[in-house]
Copies of this chain bind each other. A is one copy, B any other.
Amino acid sequence: MRLRKESDDLQEEEILLIARVSDALAHPVRIKIYRYIMTCNRERTTVCNKDVVNAFPYSQATISQHIKKLVTAGLVEVKKEEKFSKYYANIGVLMKYLDATKKFNSN
């Protein structure tokens, strides 16, 4: 049995975090792109824009737009390396998101 703590209550800021991240994950293709970037990161393979474009049946413009949403939510970070934009998943943001969402079920 878990004691209820003050920190269990969902604060406004966390609600906005949930809304932003949920919005980013609200499209199947973005979920798959995010997972793709995660997997590449885990395997220590870098991912650039073209890699994502090759992996999914959408135009370069559409892929860039989807990635932008993931970046805006903080789920993905972009680092310019040479002539490439390399994408990295930010695990911390996902963890914060999961923690906040878990609170629904704990207070």
Interface residues of A (CB under 8 A from B): 10, 15-16, 18-19, 21-28, 31-32, 34-35, 38-39, 42, 91, 94-95, 97-98, 101-102, 104-105, 107
Contacts and interface: CB of A to CB of B under 8 A. Distances in A.
B19 A22 contact: no
A102 B101 CA distance: 11
A21 B91 CA distance: 20
Contacts of A31: 10, 15, 18-19, 22
A26 B22 contact: yes
A29 to B, nearest CB: 9
Contacts of A97: 101
A23 B49 CA distance: 25
Contacts of A21: 22
Given A28-B16, A95-B105, A102-B98, A10 B35 contact: yes
25 contacts: A10-B35, A15-B28, A15-B32, A16-B28, A18-B25, A18-B31, A19-B25, A19-B27, A19-B28, A19-B31, A22-B22, A22-B25, A22-B26, A23-B26, A25-B101, A26-B26, A35-B104, A42-B107, A94-B101, A94-B104, A94-B105, A95-B105, A98-B98, A98-B101, A101-B101
